[in-house]
Structure 1
Amino acid sequence: MSLPHPVPRETVASAVASLTMWMKKRTAQTRPNLLADERDDLVVLQLSLRRIPASSSARPRLLPLPHPVIGHDGASVCVISDDRPKSRSPSASDLLHASKSLHRLPVSDVIPLSTLRTDYRPYESRRRLAASHDLFIADRAIVPLLPRVLGKAFYATKKAPIGVDFSRVGWPEQVRKVLGSAFLYLRSGTCSGIKVGRLDMEEEVIVDNVMAAVEEAVEKVPKKWANVRALHLKAVDSVALPIYQVVPELGMKIEVPEIIGSGEVIDEEGGCWCPWKRGICQCECQEEEE
């Protein structure tokens, strides 16, 4: 007999229904902020761990989803190409042409590394660039150089580019794999946010993604379920709805003496607290005192 899943699908479905209802009401009442650091129509799976991972990494773990959140026709993907003299990767124009015409990938722009260094030096320009695309993909050879070039405008908002080896013939399949995945970052904290859905998706589709992301994420967490403290679903600015929580372990029961009406403290055998012996006795000391 198989054990029940730690996260029941019914619980996830209820949380998704409540969250999307709240998001639709919020969308109807407020205008979208096009310059916001994060899209406000995303459903996020929040993973809380018991312990901080021993080794942190800026490179995300890819979590394949049955229904891609980013890899759709309306997505905006930007590629940062390697145009250094000794690079073996295609040029920016070749990458853009191949992505759109040959492989039908939702790549809307390709920016060479040299252009990124010269045209996007001000912080505000980098912030606008980060907000203008859903996902950034970079040539794997230049990924170590990008933190200094892009700064916190990208890395603080989880828009850090995902590395792909464009020097290989099979780079389109690498891009498709990235587009079909959610990203799990295990860094210096115990909480990670995983984008698992959009407001324009059907509720059952989001539920499918949540269930798949939970399974994939737990497999990549050190000690797996033993290290998972809680799972929540939330929007960018909503409350977090719990779908899994570890019940705190109850402490040991402490036996305390019973207090009787006169103020004496007695134990189960009828003894009382003796101020002379500083302990429980059978009142011989009181008789001796008398």
Structure 2
Amino acid sequence: MAEKTEVALDRAQVKKAVQALQAFLKTKATGDSLFLDETQQISLLFTLWKVPKRAQTIRIPLPHGQRTDTDEVCLFTRDEPKMTSEQTQRFYKKLLEEKGVKNISEIIPYKVLKTEYKPYEAKRRLLGNFDLFLSDARIRRLLPSHIGKHFYQRKKEPLSVNLQSKHLARDIQRVIQGTSMKVTNKGCCCMARVAHSGMTADEVTENIQAAVQTIAAKLRTKGPVMKLIHIKSQTSVALPIYTSDLSDLTELEKKRTPKDKGATPKKRDKAKKNKEDKKQTDTPAEGKEEAAKEDEEEEEEIPQLVPIETPSKKPKLEKPSKKKQLEKAPKPAAGKKGKQAQNKPTKKTGKTDSKVKRKVPKVK
């Protein structure tokens, strides 16, 4: 595990990259920005060797706070029994003052969140008013259905805090001044905010080193983890601070089998030679049978792409001729012929013989 968790960062190289980034941000601020005191986020961009199998969220404690004093923090609390919403807000304000917590800007009970922030516009306004959201651990699982998807798209979902902790001030300070990183199973790149442009170069460097070692230790992957690490701001280019050795690549290749999709051509050639050697050592009958099986497997591994024929118009059904219809039609019975012949309409009247009244001569 020691080989996996350790990432050898060159502190001098990291500090040079930080100084170059800070110099760029100063020129950018004096040239384009209207507010000279405006700070920008500094983030780390990680490129991993493999796409993780499971998604996870990593909490990263930092030695120096990466948030400014002007950042607004909101806390969601549970509804205290036998108390109104206003009484609940007063109760938790008093609790935070007693514990020495001073970074919370506003407290919103769960009942207020459900009623006053139910409309879509209210949720968007709440999202824009605060930089960080904290939540009581007792109601954390109830929040996703009330805050909406925009909190998660903007990566501002509430972070859980145990308000019953004996060291509440220390725990809240770690969460606020620390950071977190989301690792998804849909790609090999992830990003974490570690500093801001108002910090010194040494403070940013120490935060970077602490964040890299924590992430490397907590990632749920086997073998070498980090491939590339870059440092960047919101408006700058990504500057490289770490590149893994080729030894990591060889370790990954050893773990792969020749049948894997990512196998190298050299390994495939070795596998073919081993198969040929086995054929020669076996008896002729067994060799032929194994060769046939292996040929079938190779054919199955490389499927041929055949274009799918689109069906043309439906074939027209030929109508049978009148002669065939007459031949197929059932012939009438002999007894019925006479009745049909009698009931045939006459040429003159158009009526059948049975309905025509025959005139009988009167006898004088």
Give the TM-score, by structure 2 length: 0.58
Deviation at 1:213, TM superposition (A): 0.8
Shift of the 31–147 alpha-carbon distance from structure 1 to 2, 3 Å rule, reads farther
Q: Which residue matches 2:147?
A: 150
Deviation at 1:18, TM superposition (A): 1.7
Larger radius of gyration: 2
Q: How many residues align?
A: 241
Q: Given that residues 81 and 138 in structure 1 are in contact (C-alpha distance below 8 angstroms), is that contact kept between their aligned partners in structure 2?
A: yes
Q: Which residue matches 2:208?
A: 210
Shift of the 94–192 alpha-carbon distance from structure 1 to 2, 3 Å rule, reads farther
Q: Which residue matches 1:64?
A: 61
| From 94, 113, 138, the counterpart of 2:135 | 138
Partner SS for 1:141: coil
Which structure has more strand as a fraction of its residues? Answer: 1
Q: Which residue matches 1:43?
A: 42
2:108 matches 1:75: no
2:164 matches 1:161: no
Deviation at 1:40, TM superposition (A): 6.4
Q: Which residue matches 2:8?
A: 6
Unpaired stretches in structure 2, ≥5 consecutive residues? 251-263, 267-364
Higher RCO (CA-CA < 8 Å; seq separation 6+): 1
Q: Given that residues 45 and 232 in structure 2 are in contact (C-alpha distance below 8 angstroms), is that contact kept between their aligned partners in structure 1?
A: yes
Aligned-partner residue type, residue 33 of structure 2: T
Q: Distance in 1 between matches of 2:223 and 2:236?
A: 26
Equivalences for 1:116-127 in 2 at 5 Å? 116-127=113-124
Shift of the 94–149 alpha-carbon distance from structure 1 to 2, 3 Å rule, reads same
Give the TM-score, by structure 1 length: 0.72
Q: Given that residues 41 and 196 in structure 2 are in contact (C-alpha distance below 8 angstroms), is that contact kept between their aligned partners in structure 1?
A: yes
Which structure has more helix as a fraction of its residues? Answer: 2
Q: Distance in 2 between matches of 1:191 and 1:127?
A: 28
Shift of the 150–108 alpha-carbon distance from structure 1 to 2, 3 Å rule, reads same
Q: Distance in 1 between matches of 2:202 and 2:168?
A: 32
Percent same amino acid at aligned positions? 28
Unpaired stretches in structure 1, ≥5 consecutive residues? 33-38, 254-290
Q: Which residue matches 1:177?
A: 174
Deviation at 1:198, TM superposition (A): 1.0
Equivalences for 1:187-206 in 2 at 5 Å? 187-189=184-186, 190-206=188-204
Deviation at 1:233, TM superposition (A): 0.8
